[in-house]
Amino acid sequence: MNDTSFANESIRCTVTDCKFHNCDRNYCSLGTVTIGTHESDPKECQCVDCESFKAKNEGLN
């Protein structure tokens, strides 16, 4: 289980709906993240994705 009280100051993040978002600061609590794209030829920031994202409520019923 990930400790979201940890703030990896090398990975800034403002996605508060991610289960890895640090609760108190705008950083990711993971040690590393995977960045990818959903486009075959990305040209804009919107084409890039954090593939480490998991919704806070993922797996809950």
Ordered by start, the domain boundaries in the chain are 8-50
Which pLDDT does position 23 carry in this prediction? 83
Residue 60: pLDDT band (50, 70, 90) is: low
Among residues 8, 3, 5, the alpha carbon closest in space to that of 50 is found at 8
Q: Are the CB atoms for 12 and 26 separated by under 8 Å?
A: yes
Which pLDDT does position 58 carry in this prediction? 77
Cα–Cα distance list, 38 to 3, 10, 22, 34, 48 (Å): 29, 24, 26, 13, 7
Taking only the tens place, the pLDDT of each residue in 2-55 is 788 899 999 999 999 999 999 899 999 999 999 999 999 999 999 999 999 999
Which pLDDT does position 3 carry in this prediction? 82
Task: Please give the Cα distance from 44 to 4 (Å, whole number).
Answer: 30
